[in-house]
Structure 1
């Protein structure tokens, strides 16, 4: 009997180890869902070569003047679809929509370090030509946007369905796994939020089944007093929040 119990325990430990190993090696496929770039819009992307030689595509609506908008999208988003609405809402802004590595024809593979480095480089290039840069980050992109705003002179920051950290979300989703040891891309937005000085708007969906409201509330609490304001759009979900009539006015700085 004891021998059978030892053998059974060994199988359980082996199965657990294999599950943890699978989670470690396939973790980025659970975070990133690269999407192709829409071609029906008829807009050719601007091709940027980053410092490490990787080619990254950026869908751009150029515009002269001091104002620009940079948009970082969700983990399964083709950001080029945002161009018509953003161009109409911000007629005086140059619009830059970054296709993450592996997305929309961009080279390389997505990772937190790579996406953040690309965001910094894109901002620096845009800021050379535009004095005021509004940064919008949605879902996964909110983590990129917070990190950027904590270290660059962003004019205004808008976070759509943002989270406290991917690490905290992963702990909730995989309570059986030692996520602290396994997770590589943590996107700990709460660490960077206190350093943001740009006026910030957080926009949450009332019925978000992806980012729990508690995660957004926890992030909001880490901003310095007076920096961030918080809006919940009624009747919306994680993927339908931009359909609400209040969405674009909030991006524009209304309410």
Structure 2
């Protein structure tokens, strides 16, 4: 009887710990999903003569934006970065875009770099993406448009591209680097002990948006990516009308952009637009 009581007590304690862990994940998941690095307001993002930085105002925050501006560009490359760092890490190696005569627009999410505020929901995050795009869209009427994202940013990029397709302004190219089919499915793979359906407040259903993309899509994925396995890109490619998947041999998650084949594919894709 004593053993039974002891076992029951252990089960109760274990259940309480599990419930506490799930509660912590619910309330603190922004700390797990986003790894921002603040940047001093006086620290320049880039020092090139053809780049500038400024802020776009959104409800409750100011978003830091970096803009590579050519004299007479063929189009714009609108890029949504991953879940860590800031624009000083991402707004680099721009010569390929200069070579293709494309402007580049990137911005930092709330709390990243010089952007103020905090990320509080997926709806807010997507609204910020839309607000920054809306700021630039009039500048590129009649020009080529590439919507791109890497890692975390791929779900946001697919959502924006799908919105533009629905509005009759499909991007000339949607480029997704190391994408996930959905954050919910990825989290279920990484944390099988967590009831993801009930806990995750950022499901980021890339697959749902991908199926609505009508223009050309290029997927780039490292074959050795252990954080977001390449089968996510394979699933996405099957759901799209016009999708090309570049498998990068030897590349993982964080280094895929460093491979020459990726740069060559980017230059070639921009040149075809």
Q: TM-score, normalised by structure 2?
A: 0.85
Tell me whether 1:104 sits opposite 2:113 in the alignment. yes
Write the distance in 2 (CA, Å) between the matches of 1:40 and 1:14.
47
Write the distance in 2 (CA, Å) between the matches of 1:199 and 1:77.
29
**Residue in 1 that maps onto 2:127:** 117
**Residue in 2 that maps onto 1:10:** 12
Write the distance in 2 (CA, Å) between the matches of 1:245 and 1:89.
12
Write the distance in 1 (CA, Å) between the matches of 2:88 and 2:266.
17
Return the match for 1:250 from 265, 269, 272. Answer: 265
Number of residue pairs matched by the alignment? 251
Encode CA deviations 1:90-110: one digit per residue, 9 max, x unaligned: 222221111111111101212
Deviation, 1:17, is 0.7
Change over 3 Å in CA distance of 1:191–1:102 after alignment to 2 = same
**Residue in 1 that maps onto 2:67:** 60
Secondary structure at 1:198's aligned position in 2?
coil
The answer (yes or no) to whether the contact 2:80–2:148 under 8 Å persists in 1 is yes
The answer (yes or no) to whether the contact 2:81–2:90 under 8 Å persists in 1 is no
Deviation, 1:132, is 2.1
Encode CA deviations 1:75-100: one digit per residue, 9 max, x unaligned: 114333443422x1122222111111
Write the distance in 1 (CA, Å) between the matches of 2:92 and 2:13.
55
The answer (yes or no) to whether the contact 1:70–1:98 under 8 Å persists in 2 is no
Encode CA deviations 1:24-63: one digit per residue, 9 max, x unaligned: 111111110002346373365211002x242101111123
Secondary structure at 1:238's aligned position in 2?
coil
Secondary structure at 1:85's aligned position in 2?
coil
**More moved, 173-182 vs 113-122:** 113-122
Deviation, 1:238, is 0.9
Change over 3 Å in CA distance of 1:18–1:53 after alignment to 2 = closer
Encode CA deviations 1:105-135: one digit per residue, 9 max, x unaligned: 1012124222211211222222211132211
Mapping of 1:105-254 within 5 angstroms?
A: 105-110=114-119, 111-130=121-140, 131-152=143-164, 153=169, 154-224=171-241, 227-254=242-269
Encode CA deviations 1:183-209: one digit per residue, 9 max, x unaligned: 000111011111111211000012112
**Residue in 2 that maps onto 1:46:** 54
Structure 1: runs of 5+ lacking an equivalent = none
Structure 2: runs of 5+ lacking an equivalent = none
The answer (yes or no) to whether the contact 1:31–1:75 under 8 Å persists in 2 is yes
